[in-house]
């Protein structure tokens, strides 16, 4: 049987997509997690601080990577989008709680605006271990 080129990953524990995209996609041994913001899946409300938004975004990333068969240790690259670079330190403090050495590669930069006026959005790429 031929393996699918890509498989969508969906978790009910994470806010569902609001457009034509998947929460995450697995292709081969790679998992690509769509950008996550600090939107509470239960209340559909944004968390109030950059620290709270970062924590929830990373918790959602973790749920999706786990659902795909991996863990936070399998994440090899993240991209962090900030509405204001002045929030970098607050984001970075929480971010550091989720990763250990060797850390994933990362890019972080300020953008003009994020969905729902979020303060931070994070996307990730993970490499699953051989099964």
Supply the CATH number for residue 121's domain. Answer: 3.30.1330.40
Q: Please, are residues 106 and 78 in contact by the beta-carbon 8 Å criterion?
A: yes
Q: What is the pLDDT of residue 26?
A: 97
Is 1 inside a domain boundary? no
Is 90 inside a domain boundary? yes
Is 68 inside a domain boundary? yes
Is 109 inside a domain boundary? yes
Is 103 inside a domain boundary? yes
Sequential DSSP letters for 81-103: EES-GGGHHHHHHHHHHH--SSP
Q: What is the pLDDT of residue 47?
A: 93
Q: What is the pLDDT of residue 7?
A: 96
Name the pTM for this structure. Answer: 0.94
Low-confidence ranges of the chain (pLDDT < 50): 1
- The total of structural domains in the chain comes to 1
Q: What is the pLDDT of residue 42?
A: 86
Q: What is the pLDDT of residue 41?
A: 85
The candidate with the shortest Cα–Cα distance to 75, out of 6, 11, 124, 29, is: 124
User: Residue 116: which domain range?
Assistant: 7-127
């Amino acid at each position: 049987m031929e393996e699918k080129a890509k498989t969508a990953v969906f978790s009910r524990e994470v806010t569902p997509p609001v457009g034509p995209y998947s929460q995450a996609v697995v292709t081969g041994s790679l998992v690509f997690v769509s950008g996550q913001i600090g939107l509470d899946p239960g209340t559909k409300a944004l968390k109030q601080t950059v620290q709270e938004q970062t924590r929830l975004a990373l918790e959602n990333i973790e749920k999706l990577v786990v659902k795909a068969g991996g863990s936070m240790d399998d994440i090899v690259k993240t991209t962090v989008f900030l509405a204001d670079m002045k929030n970098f330190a607050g984001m970075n403090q929480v971010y550091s709680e989720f990763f250990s050495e060797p850390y994933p590669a990362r890019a972080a930069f300020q953008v003009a605006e994020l969905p729902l006026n979020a303060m931070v959005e994070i996307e990730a790429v993970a490499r699953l271990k051989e099964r």
